[in-house]
Structure 1
């Protein structure tokens, strides 16, 4: 057994001893190999080298040496291949089972830079290669991944480069402009029934600008990506097909109406024909403009695009109440303008109307509009009004308004009441928690400065945008466990594979282990501005994979480093008890990250066993050895500098080659042993 020592001062002597032994072993193997070639390797079963020491125990330093790889898997094993298997199994079985645990416990140790304490490999990883093989489970191939929410679908067309996503700033600005033009049309087009000569010039100028905007809006639907059934559709051909099936005909019709009206306005302004200047002709043109209000159907989508970009959940609830009231007001605005139009129509035809009975001058726009709006609102609410219909036209219109009010008023009032109740509940819970916080500080006579700092941190936490946690969606708790496994696998597998510790075959052949790790060892976390992910000197419980946002890492030397998306922190904690060597905090906004439980990860890997488990153990030993070497050179290794100072991809390649070497050797030895047993059985028979 090699002479290990816990004394750090003996590290140099141990390194010299190990280096000398390796050089001696290399010289001996080369000389034995050359001797084997000189004598010839044609006689099967001839023992060239002694495989036993004077004590009768296998001597791994005198075991047979390998030659070149066999060129075909079906070719028979030569006696040199058997000696290769003997060498490998001696290295694995005898050394691994007898001295492996002591080797791991003594060689793989790291010093805490603060406490000078040694870190040992986790107990879950202290197993032999034979134990890993015995615990190995059947490996299954990974199936192709399903389509996910927010997956982007694109094609190879030349227009693809011009398509912008639904979250782009261009779409946001365009939606904002569309909203302004639609609201302007809702407010001004009904008002054109009133005699406002100066206002017509303003509406004509805005209508020209609006027409240019809506003409340019038609081709933008071919270039603005949209989220359809959870998938972000970015293919121009598909976007064009969807637009043609929905709004294309309506938009073209409204554009043609606008062009016709603008042309008529230009003709009327330049032609002195009394037909174009009659009041009936002007009112007809104004009524035709109501067709542009069909664009109101787009308003909800445009407003939701803007609201989700700018507002929090509580603000969205308040906006919903304002939206209900705005819809009611818009409906009454249109009804009031039409009510005034009926009065003017009856008066022009020499019949009595509500304007005459109420002694309202139709040319007094302000008085007439207020009276009409008052009448419209009283049809929706149980309020009194002196204006009443007195002829068939007015009664017919009033009946349909009342029916509309019966259908809409109760729905709007119920929706507004429900939303306000929800807002009050949320606000009441916030006030209760704030009062408890104040009582907590008062009972303990704590400082006002600390209280203000706590309140400031809580205010930032309220303003921070967060996403729903799994425990907040109660319906997920009722789904079967097998579906939850697939749910967690799709949630975490991307982050798990970002940790560069896997061999090239792990994500294809060991899907069961990866799926179980995602289900049992991984969780999602949110760090709001001012919050800390971890503090120094505490043992690490997770490996952190940053998804979105950024964090700041403060070392013990007061140095600051930024951790962007896809950064992996505290990687060595998967194999060793690793104390945090700095503070990780969110100062630049809300950050979302995934945590991989260290103990759960190691226990699951050990329980699954198999080649992947052995590979992970080898990778951990190599990683901790590299860290120990860096510390011996005076390079400080902290929670986030591991991947900057060590090439984990190179370590993965080395570990994969070594694990594959063991697997191939065991397979060859197993085939030879099986053949020998078969020959013995035939002889006995």
Structure 2
């Protein structure tokens, strides 16, 4: 199948290559890294057949590539996009449509989602202010603390916050069952009918209390001021205390439960219960002191009028320190709560009624507290009992099996460590999810898995243009799993039909010389979150060549290849794109072997990046991918439409780029960051000899050109349609009659350069692959170019001595000395052609090449020499 795909791609590749000698002008290579050597382990001893066939023997995944069903779609896909343009709804628009009935409304962009970070931050700020109000204000009211210093500042912040909170409440969406209401009129109406009046009263009382505290300082206004502040506190307790506190507390509790272990969670809940008891007794103690100080009395006596015996004398209670007064009131509150005894007793009827009521509340609340704490402790004991029972059974098993003591200790240690780690809850463990509707479960899985799928450019392309594929992949293809420390994700020599995405945690990938063509000392790689593993399993019948083991608790998503093929069959438009991607990926697998490329493994396949795969696809699929990418870009950046109305030049650039994409002359993709890029791939060949010479392109010309244009660079060509890098390199070698030398080529490096394109208004990425080849000058069997006959010389020369061009002057002494040391009299030049483009090549010493390519004087000398060539004397070889 790979050979058939290669034969089908031969014609478009040749068409895309026409003029490759002249089109690969956007590169410059003047450095020469040393050739890399592939070290293959001597311990890897496969059979002769395996050594000759792997990875060539790797078969393509038939469930993905179905040529008989896709052949009709291949010719119609790009035509469909040409006619309809943006005919697929994007994921962002689909998600917005599910959240609001009017996603195009401008208010949807202003309103705050109740589950967003902004809403959570506002709730946390409200919790902090609320805790201050509920803790400090009761003390300030009971002890008549002056509003100065830090208390004045915090009171002002509280007033401002609760006023702004009313505005934020008008702009925060409302959760209604499964959906979120994000229409401003509905949100405002809901808030106006529920919490607007209590919030307004609370904010008004706070501001009035703060203003009166600032204006009046006399005793005559003290009682009125206390009443107003008490009204503000009452509103705070009834509205914010019961509504906001409980709501924010639930959010925090849900977050804590998802992060803490079972034991830590039990301790956390016990701390919360005890803190709640202390806070309630704090409020009651402040109320008890305020009642004894300012409350009515039917007997003329109050409990605060008692005396304190200090041993030598009696002191009035109100003359003691505020700290003693507060702790005494708090002690009384705890005594009534726990049915204890204290020397403080009520002195009038109002105090006794308050005491009776709180005793009744304490009985109920105290019993509830004891039962809650007991339940938490029982849960902890049951958890520990289950753990101890498992360890006890393991000890018994090891003892009855006569296991060596050293090994038994290791097993017990590992078991204790595993039992102490809280495992993540899997979807299959949550039985209640089976009771919710399928549509809601679909939205849940889409929300869970779409961010991870967006990290892969192909899946980003699929799920953004066809929601049916997105739903099918999220519901049927992806399975989530967790790994503990030292768990294996996969092992070497195991057949695989799944690709993996590491969502969290770290993995260690190890290749052993005995199970893979790894280096002699093996290979170990630390895999970090966000990496894809064993992607080759989706597109071929892959066998793992390494072992992936967890180094920390990990969450991994697995994509089944057969299920993915079944999901892709539902989309007729995108099926051919995936099939072509699969064919090109498989071609990289079977051709990845030294010296052309590195061996493939579970982490990467050489030359299988998204950009390189798209560049090798057929012209129709390339146009489809380009048009979809353009439409996605304009959908994600609606501001470009406004800019095009204001600047017509941008619209003309967009139209020109779209026309070139449809014509197949430009390749456009969305990179993993979601940015639009125009991609150009160039293959560069560095041919050297033993005497330190390099083959250099001196000049080029096209049909109709009157003279040769100086270039002075390494031979290069663009990667054509439906063509891999290996095939492009083979075409470049065949230009010089070196087709049989492809096995001697070494890949040196890949250079990536990104720069803005003024012609298209987007970024252009240039991928330059530099290859090296060592030859003798005699191996290049091309016709030699003879310069025009001159009586003064009969030898071939590209650049004559400096006196030959007296009008040319070297700008610096250093360049003059460099030029004088270069002997160019015995250099041979060759003339080669590829269709309508022709180029002149020559063997140059590397020092000469550097001077000609880097200095202005060298370029002038080369241009002057090229002008002296007589066109009728050039022998042209047609290929």
Bin the TM-score by the shorter chain.
0.5 to 0.7
Whether 2:241 is the aligned partner of 1:296: answer: yes
C-alpha separation in 2, matches of 1:423 and 1:180: 31
Counterpart pick for 1:211 among 159, 165, 168: 159
Aligned to 1:188: 136
SS at structure 1 position matched to 2:556: strand
The 8 Å contact of residues 500 and 648 in structure 1, kept in 2 or not, is answered as no
Whether 2:204 is the aligned partner of 1:256: answer: yes
Aligned to 1:580: 544
SS at structure 1 position matched to 2:602: coil
Pick closer, same or farther for the CA change 1:189–1:601 going to 2, 3 Å.
Answer: closer
Deviation readout 1:431-456 (Å, 9 max, x if unpaired): 55677788999954448997899599
Pick closer, same or farther for the CA change 1:193–1:520 going to 2, 3 Å.
Answer: closer
Counterpart pick for 1:641 among 575, 591, 604: 604
Aligned to 1:597: 560
Aligned to 1:544: 500
Deviation readout 1:645-666 (Å, 9 max, x if unpaired): 6755578878989xxxxxxxxx
Counterpart pick for 2:318 among 350, 362, 370: 362
Pick closer, same or farther for the CA change 1:242–1:456 going to 2, 3 Å.
Answer: farther
Whether 2:366 is the aligned partner of 1:401: answer: no
Deviation readout 1:290-336 (Å, 9 max, x if unpaired): 23434323223334444555652534443333223333332222223
Deviation at 1:394, TM superposition (A): 2.9
Counterpart pick for 1:376 among 317, 329, 333: 333
Whether 2:284 is the aligned partner of 1:335: answer: yes
Aligned to 1:524: 480
SS at structure 2 position matched to 1:524: strand
Q: TM-score, normalised by structure 1?
A: 0.59
SS at structure 1 position matched to 2:544: coil
Aligned to 1:48: none
Whether 2:214 is the aligned partner of 1:287: answer: no
Pick closer, same or farther for the CA change 1:155–1:299 going to 2, 3 Å.
Answer: farther
Q: Structure 2 matches for 1:156-195, cutoff 5 A?
A: 156-157=105-106, 160=109, 163=112, 166-168=115-117, 174-195=122-143
Whether 2:220 is the aligned partner of 1:275: answer: yes
SS at structure 2 position matched to 1:634: coil
C-alpha separation in 2, matches of 1:187 and 1:485: 45
C-alpha separation in 2, matches of 1:412 and 1:493: 44
The 8 Å contact of residues 457 and 530 in structure 1, kept in 2 or not, is answered as no
Whether 2:274 is the aligned partner of 1:318: answer: no
The 8 Å contact of residues 166 and 199 in structure 2, kept in 1 or not, is answered as yes
Aligned to 1:414: 371
SS at structure 1 position matched to 2:495: coil
Aligned to 2:489: 533
C-alpha separation in 1, matches of 2:362 and 2:137: 22
The 8 Å contact of residues 549 and 564 in structure 1, kept in 2 or not, is answered as yes
Gaps of 5+ in 2: 15-48, 73-87, 309-315, 512-517, 623-879
Deviation at 1:594, TM superposition (A): 2.4
The 8 Å contact of residues 622 and 651 in structure 1, kept in 2 or not, is answered as yes
Deviation readout 1:65-92 (Å, 9 max, x if unpaired): xxxxxxxxxxxxxxxxxxxxxxxxxxxx
Aligned to 2:697: none
Deviation at 1:470, TM superposition (A): 1.9
Deviation at 1:147, TM superposition (A): 8.4
SS at structure 2 position matched to 1:362: helix
The answer to which structure has the higher helix fraction is: 1
The 8 Å contact of residues 175 and 306 in structure 1, kept in 2 or not, is answered as no
Aligned to 1:47: none
Aligned to 2:817: none
The answer to which structure has the higher strand fraction is: 2
C-alpha separation in 2, matches of 1:112 and 1:591: 35
Deviation at 1:469, TM superposition (A): 0.9
Counterpart pick for 2:300 among 351, 359, 362: 351
C-alpha separation in 2, matches of 1:424 and 1:234: 46
Deviation at 1:400, TM superposition (A): 3.3
Pick closer, same or farther for the CA change 1:129–1:162 going to 2, 3 Å.
Answer: closer
Pick closer, same or farther for the CA change 1:253–1:546 going to 2, 3 Å.
Answer: same
Deviation at 1:184, TM superposition (A): 2.2
Pick closer, same or farther for the CA change 1:648–1:394 going to 2, 3 Å.
Answer: same
Pick closer, same or farther for the CA change 1:485–1:427 going to 2, 3 Å.
Answer: same
Q: TM-score, normalised by structure 2?
A: 0.48
The 8 Å contact of residues 537 and 580 in structure 1, kept in 2 or not, is answered as yes
The 8 Å contact of residues 507 and 528 in structure 2, kept in 1 or not, is answered as yes
Deviation at 1:198, TM superposition (A): 6.8
Aligned to 2:586: 624
Deviation readout 1:107-152 (Å, 9 max, x if unpaired): xxx978998794345797999959x99xxxxxxxx99999889976
Q: CA RMSD in A?
A: 5.8
SS at structure 1 position matched to 2:237: helix
C-alpha separation in 1, matches of 2:482 and 2:152: 52
Q: Structure 2 matches for 1:62-73, cutoff 5 A?
A: none
Pick closer, same or farther for the CA change 1:500–1:257 going to 2, 3 Å.
Answer: closer
Pick closer, same or farther for the CA change 1:653–1:247 going to 2, 3 Å.
Answer: farther
Deviation readout 1:653-684 (Å, 9 max, x if unpaired): 78989xxxxxxxxxxxxxxxxxxxxxxxxxxx
Matched length: 541
Counterpart pick for 2:428 among 471, 490, 513: 471
Question: 490-499 or 198-207, which moves further after superposition?
Answer: 490-499
Pick closer, same or farther for the CA change 1:389–1:563 going to 2, 3 Å.
Answer: closer
Deviation readout 1:592-616 (Å, 9 max, x if unpaired): 43213346667x6899999999998
